[in-house]
Structure 1
Amino acid sequence: MQDMKKNMLLGTMAASLVLAGGGTALAEEMLPGTDDVSSANTAVDASDGVASGLSEADASQGEFSYDQTTITPNDVIRDVFRRATAALCNATDDFATSNPLEWKIAVSGDVDQAFTAAVDELASESSVKQIMTCTCGGNPADGKAVVTADVKGIPVSYLLDRADARPEANTLTFVSSDGTELAIPIAYVVGRHGVISYQVNDEDLSASVGGNNQLWMTRTPANYFIRDIVEVRVTSEANPPENPGEGMEYPNSPNVGILNAEIG
């Protein structure tokens, strides 16, 4: 859910608010020995259901804003992801870490210039650094399964350009070193600014999510963030795969809570 821009939504909070008015009488101010609460000015006017001394406020307009630019430290990311690798980031193994820059990735399939290259070679040709968020698909509001990080990686769009992907291609299959395969529509990956990351918060992935590289995409459930990619296969499918999170009730819930509210 994830870029560096601050978003602001303007909306109308239709409110039927009852605000306290003046003229209240406290119990301790009542005459000794009396329990007649009607004398305390709390009787309800049966004609409109509003307590005497109270008034209704008109609906008010307000502003709601949020951002996702606070970086999660790597030790927190490590605690979140290492404890639930079977559910998060599409990983069931604690991948052994080698030198992530020496890791080789092949691009094959419906391309005119298939190639295999080391990450450091690809990074020297095209690398981006951007703030992105990784969230468990079922994370509720104020849930803990969400991190925001400064991610550095190789854009998937660059890999497609270098391999000269054919116009009819519509699917990418990411193949992990353990044999895991993940197929996603090309338009989705490119549209979600997909990158094969090799650093998180200026450190190798071993300091945070683990492994040597990992697919990151904006506004995408974390179980699609496949790790230790060795091949990106480009194909033209008659029935391309569904977009990640399709049909999920909460495909990527942001960590949002109300901190302050004012009535003007």
Structure 2
Amino acid sequence: MQDYKRNILAGTMAASLVLGGAGTAFAEEPAQETDGTTGAATPAAVESAAASASAAAEADAAEGAFAYDQTTITPNSIIRDVFQRATAALCNATDDFAVSNPLEWKIAVSGDVDQAFTAAVDDLASESSVKQVMTCTCGGNPADGAAIITADVKGIPVSYLLDRAEARSGVNTLTFVSSDGTELAMPLGYVVGRHGVISYEINDEDLSASVGGNNQLWMTRTPANYFIRDIVEIRITSEANPPANPGEEMDFPNSPNVGILKAEID
């Protein structure tokens, strides 16, 4: 199982871009002198106009800096308004948001493993739990759309569950089963490679205070409709034809929001 271990750490996305450009200076063109007879410009006026045109085409290069980050946490009150009122397709919500004690919720891990098990979230969390800033966004969220949140997510790494169950060599598929019978199959490498976690807390509160439900799969760089909720079983299998990566056939599988919060000009 060493092949499936991943170091799942919170990260801050940051980038900077130096922008360079040339400006153009414009000045009011003085009236041209004429010879008073034919109305033609004098040689001195022509020379002056040419010099002005040359000066207008020259300017010092301008340079600036651009930066962005995704560290601003969305409050649970906003998350609740956006996602608990959405359809079941958003974040793969179950039809029933009834909440028990999330830590007492039991998850079974089965399939092509040597140590299948069923354990409470509380027990699994005490063995291995991570907390990291992650983003959840609807795949069809337009620019400046509201269906995007960034939250401090606490959960159990999927890679840990693979290790604990002692997944066999050659496994390539994970199937998540929700309490309402919903099943979602994804490539194992995709889920682990995108730091998949079974979350039970968002921004230091139970999921019921934000997205709803008892637990939810979160992954990086993945549309929210793959974030299946209220998971009761995870099947680890080796398939001759594993499922496609989420969003693979979509033109725009994910549309992060971008907005300018502050701008300064020196």
Task: Report the Cα distance in structure 2 between the residues aligned to 1:146 and 1:128, rounded to whole angstroms.
Answer: 22
Give the aligned residue type for 1:7: A
List runs of 5+ in structure 1 lacking aligned partners: 26-45
Q: What secondary structure does 2:92 align onto?
A: coil
Give the aligned residue type for 1:4: G
Task: Report the Cα distance in structure 1 between the residues aligned to 2:259 and 2:71, rounded to whole angstroms.
Answer: 15
Any residues of structure 2 matched to 1:50-61 within 5 Å, and which?
Answer: 54-57=56-59, 60-61=62-63
Cα distance, 1:9–1:109 mapped onto 2, change above 3 Å? same
List runs of 5+ in structure 2 lacking aligned partners: 1-8, 31-48
The aligned counterpart of 2:24 is 18
Task: Report the Cα distance in structure 1 between the residues aligned to 2:119 and 2:94, rounded to whole angstroms.
Answer: 26
Cα distance, 1:164–1:76 mapped onto 2, change above 3 Å? same
Q: What secondary structure does 1:65 align onto?
A: strand
Deviation at 1:24, TM superposition (A): 7.7
The aligned counterpart of 1:133 is 135
Task: Report the Cα distance in structure 2 between the residues aligned to 1:17 and 1:74, rounded to whole angstroms.
Answer: 45
Q: What secondary structure does 1:183 align onto?
A: strand
Deviation at 1:87, TM superposition (A): 2.9
Instruction: State TM-score, norm by structure 1.
Output: 0.82
- Mapped contact 1:24–1:53 kept (Cα < 8 A): no
Match for 1:5 among 9, 12, 15? 12
Task: Report the Cα distance in structure 2 between the residues aligned to 1:152 and 1:82, rounded to whole angstroms.
Answer: 19
Give the structure with higher Rg (CA).
2
Deviation at 1:179, TM superposition (A): 0.3
Q: What secondary structure does 2:90 align onto?
A: coil
Is the helix fraction higher in 1 or 2? Answer: 2
Deviation at 1:52, TM superposition (A): 9.1
Match for 2:100 among 87, 98, 101? 98
Give the paired residue count: 240
Any residues of structure 2 matched to 1:141-156 within 5 Å, and which?
Answer: 141-156=143-158
The reply to whether residue 111 of structure 1 matches residue 118 of structure 2 is no
- Over the aligned positions, Cα root-mean-square deviation in angstroms equals 2.8
Q: What's the % identity of the aligned pairs?
A: 75
For residues 32-65 of structure 1, the C-alpha deviation after alignment (integer angstroms, 9 at most, x for no partner) is xxxxxxxxxxxxxx99xx9897445466554332
Deviation at 1:4, TM superposition (A): 3.0
